Amino acid sequence: MYSPDIVGHQAIRQRLLERLQEGRIRGSLLFTGPDGIGKRRVALEMAQREICFRKTACGLCEGCQLFAGDDLPFELPNLLRITPEGKSGVIRIDQIREGLDSNNQPRFSRGVIEWAALAPAMGCHRWILVEEAHRLNESSGNILLKTLEEPPPDTHFILVTHRPEALLQTIRSRCERIPFAPLALREAWAVAQRNGWKDLDHDRWSALGEGSLRFLDEAVFRRAEAQVEAWIALMEGRPFGEAAGPLQPEKESARAQGEQLRQPLELLLRLLADLARVRTGETPTLAPWREELGFLATQSMDLKAPQEAVLQALRHLPRNLSPEPLLREVALSLVS
């Protein structure tokens, strides 16, 4: 009864299946947990199972082929996907109300509220998946509120996010929260191996991923690796202009600038926490960089000031349009 390509989260998947079969599943669910651990894929499994000819999300039949590949349509017979769009990286009101993209072209045939009210296909529910739900802006979030509170019969919303605190409190209160834990490191690495990763990269890949699959793409992993080393170089006193290149957003990336900046800032928080661990004799979570952390731990650097600088930068990311001054200010706190 389960998709063979999903790793982990067996207890949650079993509970959701049982509640669905017994008619006890809530109309609005909020899937939370770290980025890249499979929350979205579990949500898709619930819709895929109903379309599957075997009712198991087998991954082989014609029904399951509708869900195959990375380029999943926005609209399927029993599924509507809402995703962030464009350089701004937000879910806009037009996407909710009218199903339009940023160029006012239809992404799907109807707005979300109208689509939710349609009768489901025979033997199916209607599933509305809001991916990266923390990117709902205030207007689009408010449009959803009434429908989230009282979804039409046999219609279920699943909001997926690794940042539930960024959602409107009124949205959070209308959803049943389903928390997901990171994958076991062996589970994550097994997926990595199936995607071509070799044992040489095991330690760094596992340390950076922390039980997630965020770094299956080698270019994404190498960038995160370079960001850790850039912060270490800045803490060692290297000039910002020489070391900070990997920290800057990539102009050609489709991801919003703020979302690109979030990763290096969160990596710096991990490094600072690891420095505190090393000073007390504990093992750092970024163990492959233990030697560099050990050297830095002997220095007199204050950890509180850069931690506060990073947290403030993260709070202001949605409004910050100048990444270099922000990064320079954080880097300055490392050596002041």
321 — pLDDT class (breaks 50, 70, 90): low
Distance CA 164, CA 171 (A): 10
179 — pLDDT class (breaks 50, 70, 90): very high
Q: What is the pLDDT of residue 2?
A: 63
264 — pLDDT class (breaks 50, 70, 90): very high
95 — pLDDT class (breaks 50, 70, 90): confident
Enter the pTM of the model.
Answer: 0.89
Q: With 60 as the cut, is the pLDDT of residue 56 above it?
A: yes
DSSP β-bridge partners for residue 82: 130
Q: With 80 as the cut, is the pLDDT of residue 100 above it?
A: no
Q: What is the pLDDT of residue 323?
A: 87
Could you read off the pLDDT of 153-162 as tens digits, one per residue? 889 999 999 9
283 — pLDDT class (breaks 50, 70, 90): very high
Q: What is the pLDDT of residue 276?
A: 96
Choice between 188 and 23, residue whose per-residue pLDDT is larger: 188
DSSP state of 91: B
DSSP state of 283: P
Amino acid identity, residue 54?
R
Q: With 80 as the cut, is the pLDDT of residue 99 above it?
A: no
- For 41, 64, 65, 82, 240, the CA distances from 69, given in Å and listed in that order, are 12, 10, 8, 17, 41
Choice between 2 and 253, residue whose per-residue pLDDT is larger: 253
Q: With 70 as the cut, is the pLDDT of residue 4 above it?
A: yes
Contact between 244 and 260 under an 8 Å Cβ cutoff? The reply is no
- For 85, 117, 153, 176, 296, the CA distances from 91, given in Å and listed in that order, are 6, 21, 25, 21, 42
Q: With 70 as the cut, is the pLDDT of residue 76 above it?
A: yes
102 — pLDDT class (breaks 50, 70, 90): low
Q: Out of 8-12, 97-101, 120-124, 205-209, pick the least confident.
A: 97-101
Q: What is the pLDDT of residue 148?
A: 86
Distance CA 262, CA 177 (A): 24
Q: What is the pLDDT of residue 36?
A: 94
